[in-house]
Structure 1
Amino acid sequence: MECWFCLHGYTNRCIRGKSFGSLGFDGGQAEYVRVPFADGTLQRAPTTVDDSLLIMMCDIFPTGYYGANRAIQYFESQSHELDTINADTPMFQLQELKDCVFVCLGCGPVGLCSILTCLTKKVGKVFAVDAVDDRLAEAERWGAIPLKLGRDDIKAKILEATDGRGADAVIELVGNAPALKSAFELVRPAGCISSIGFHQGEVPFTAFEAYAKNLNINMGRAPARRVFNDALDVLVANSDKVREFVTHKLPVSEAAKGYEIFEKQQARKVVLVF
């Protein structure tokens, strides 16, 4: 690690960083790859976890973990701040994670990783929002409360669960304007939006609306290397739950088919093998 951002833990903003499989860096689906700056990026794989699960640590699990943990850290920091204020004269009631209501918008592979992180970290209630029954069923098996797009009145359900306030935090994992707008509408005043969806358009609410709601908003890609060890601990602790996360293993010659069935939401995670 050499650049200022990497040395300070912002590995997602490395000035020399590139992504495998991008236009500027080949090798995303190669059997072997050459890894630049390997001393700051590679991590020894544990022998207790199947390789097909460790593939998730390349991207989706650290990303899902980061999205959830940014919201979790917000409330942990608030509790610490209030605890300091209350040391001599109690003034405010602390809100602990076990009393928080989180909403995860999007239950694809990254969304399920976020949901699992929230549940592992003991968030009080976790609502899972998606349009795909299989995804919602998996989230429900883990302990989340499923809400289906087009069937449930999601905003009414969240308001009912929070005495009309809105969710304490919304983790947005879809990456489009309607999802981010929904996050804004579901979160309570002085709440938190953690958005790790890959947005490419305008933000669907104004600066004044965010100001008027006193929102804490975090957006952007995950610093995967920085959160890697903590995310791996969550994965290992839940290896029995994610054992069926990889639904298809295909030869690399059938990569196009893998993309097709994933696009049609007929697969959770596809692994290509040589």
Structure 2
Amino acid sequence: MRAIIERAQAYPDIEIVAIGRPKLDLGHPETIESAVSALEPDLIVSAAAFTAVDQAESEETLATIINGEAAGVLAYTASRLDIPIIHLSTDYVFDGQKSDAYTEKDHVAPLGAYGRSKLAGERAVAFATENHTILRTAWVHSPFGKNFLKTMLRLAGDRDTINVVADQYGTPTSALDIADAILKVASNLFHSDNDAMRGIFHLTNSGKASWADFAETIFDVSERAGGPCAKVHRISSADYPTPAKRPANSVLDCHKLAITHGVHMQDWRTAAECVVKYVLNRQNVKKECGE
């Protein structure tokens, strides 16, 4: 949400109103309708979620309430207000067994609790209102919050070598680029009743990488910018067991989004370079300000 707020500054005709706890608590869906309705929005962006993939394995009930039931209530509220809703979903709705990029028509088969909860959200949103656009994204990194890119930079400050999985593939995707895309899609939905602009779309940066490839790019950009750097030791996913099983292939085909909404995403390397430099710049500003 911070990325959307930041990017929206370039659109003086758009006002972003972020709402969260205690007024709106996705863990308590009964708080949603009154909190949202009081704002009288023109469109809802459903971006918040239970995103702790491993934790979801032991807390699937809570994950399903937040990612599934609450998403449905948001969509019901949008329907009652007669406005569009944009809902963010994930590559984890797929099992990762396909050899090439997943399209919106491919069969969904989540491997774990997180994927099941997000699929429940997709279905709840679609059931509640036809005026919806579901955007599936993957491997999100950002200057804000906790994510793989920031973790790699932090670890590089303490270690010379970092073990990174090299047999899972996807597309690292900038939250800043996702925000730009959401704003574009929102404008399209607000100004058009075209049914083709509703439904499920895939939204990632372009290209393909392993987590190890991603880490090496992060460190290369950081080193050139005077930031921390480490050597990547490539390991298999079997060498790094986790409570939740990850899809081996998370690459998403985004042609439908480009054709229908005119959203063309840049290469993941270019996007990652922008985010790394953004993070390093923020860190330098904090140091200069004595924070």
Structure 2 length normalisation: TM-score?
Answer: 0.29
Tell which has more relative contact order, 1 or 2 (C-alpha 8 A, sep 6+): 2
